[in-house]
Amino acid sequence: MSYRGLSLWHETTPTDWTPRPALAGDTEADVAIVGAGYTGLWTAYYLARAEPSLRIVMVESEVAGFGASGRNGGWCSALFPTSLGETQDAAMRASVDEVLAVAAAEGIDCHAAKGGTIVLARTPAQLARARAEYGDRVLSPADAGEHLRASGTLGATYTPDCAAIHPGRLVRGLADVVTRRGVRLYERTPATSIEPGLVRTPGGTVRARYVVRATEGFTPRLPGLARAVVPVYSLIIASEPLPPSVWDEIGLARRETFSDHRHLIIYGQRTADDRLVLGGRGAPYHLGSRIRPEFDRDHRVFAGLHATLLELFPVLAGARFTHAWGGPLGIPRDWCASVGLDRTTGLAWAGGYVGDGVSTTNLAGRTLCDLVLERDSELTDLPWVGHHSPRWEPEPLRWLGINAGLRAMTLADAEERVTGRPSLIGRVMAPLVGGHSA
């Protein structure tokens, strides 16, 4: 496999994607971590920093950053998929700054720019939703234009709590940092099962007091976890580097991330090399939670994203779009991300980020560190700690429900463009396709 071909981020990460050696034989550790995405790497980082003598072993089925951690839209935001109150919100805001602080301290150049997020309202129905949630904090079209100049803007909301990043640079930088700190990372080493005190792989077993599951959208591949989360695909396109004259018309001078208040989520950013990146939902959920390389690309969805960008920014009519990619993200049944540790079994987990994982994984890693080291802290008291989501319905019910929800949200946006009124379909179906995906 050519890992550089997975996404724009993989191609433009100045690092060697050659896999580290696989596990060959049985080994022992204090902590075993399954999955070398952001969750696993942040957990390893904070544990190794807090207790350098800990024996930490990570196993990864492909290479660090293969999954959502290397393919996302590059939003390091304070978004959390479910409202759990101010303490959770405050922890998320702090996590954005923590990611940036660690990257700076460890010399990881992840092209970070904390420009915040501008979310446009471009129909009367979108404007009504924005006003219902934000009240008099909704920006006028002129004030919105100070951040982003898109066609048909009626208003917008803004938060400073988001940074645009290069996801590949961050995840590969973290992998290098943890291995320098003594963490043993075995790539091309898929876990075939996770059990109390034991991780089984084709090349050998890892015995450890604590086993951390950090597998996000790939979790259904593990025995007994087929209905824990569903892998839903989010797809992304990226333009060629655009000239200053185009950016003068679009805006995003501080590299703000952007979206709008439609039902079917879109998310975008301006990269450090002046590309425009846009991602969104619309790809189908595949029966039986299947994950296959061919699902990473859906030309119908890519065409829809391209049409959306041309509608938002007509100045892009002559621009080339050079990259298109996608991948699965993990969605729990109640849309609530969680982190926890069962002290009886030593099994720990974190995930279900619904696409809001870039900073949430950092919060998870710090929380898992405290849980493993038996530290009572503000983090271990957060409301998402120890939460257990219900299982998804068996097939074909979840296939029917999820795909009906995705189709309904597309229809809801079309309805609102025609009528100018909030869609009843959108309100009813929102719980099936909620969350962000950046």
Q: What is the pLDDT of residues 162-188, one digit of tens each?
A: 999 999 999 999 999 999 999 999 999
Residue pLDDT, tens place only, 215-250: 999 999 999 999 999 999 999 999 999 999 999 999
Q: CA-CA distance, 179 to 165, in Å (whole number)?
A: 22
SS3 260: strand
* pLDDT attached to residue 1: 61
pLDDT at residue 434 in the model: 52
Tokens of 265: 């989520």
- Higher pLDDT: 124 or 408? It is 124
User: Does pLDDT of 437 surpass 60?
Assistant: no
3-class SS of residue 348: strand
Is residue 76 very low, low, confident or very high in pLDDT (cuts 50, 70, 90)?
very high
Does 436 score more than 80 pLDDT? no
Mean pLDDT of 403-410: 86
User: What's the pLDDT score for residue 408?
Assistant: 86
pLDDT band at residue 411 using 50, 70 and 90 as cut-offs: confident
**pLDDT at residue number 414:** 82
- Mean pLDDT, the chain, integer: 95
Least confident of 41-45, 197-201, 427-431: 427-431
Reported for 292-300, long-range contacts at CB under 8 A and 24+ positions apart, including other chains, are 295/233, 295/326, 295/328, 296/6, 296/233, 296/235, 296/325, 296/326, 296/327, 297/235, 297/324, 297/325, 297/326, 298/233, 298/235, 298/326
Angle at 369 between CA 19 and CA 373, to 5 degrees: 125
| pLDDT at residue 385 is higher than 50 | yes
Please classify residue 341 by burial: count the beta carbons closer than 10 Å to its beta carbon, then call 0-12 exposed, 13-18 middle and 19+ buried: buried
**What pLDDT does residue 282 have?**
87
Residue 377's pLDDT is what? Answer: 97
Q: What proportion of the chain, given as a percentage, has pLDDT over 70?
A: 97
When comparing pLDDT for 357 and 407, which is higher? 357
Report pLDDT for 378. 98
State residue 429's pLDDT score.
64
Dump pLDDT digits (tens) for 13-63: 998 899 999 999 999 999 999 999 999 999 999 999 999 999 999 999 999
Q: Which residue bears the tokens 């915040």? A: 116
pLDDT at 422 over 90: no
What average pLDDT score do residues 85-92 get?
98
pLDDT for the residue numbered 433: 52
For 174, phi then psi, to 5°, come to -65, -40
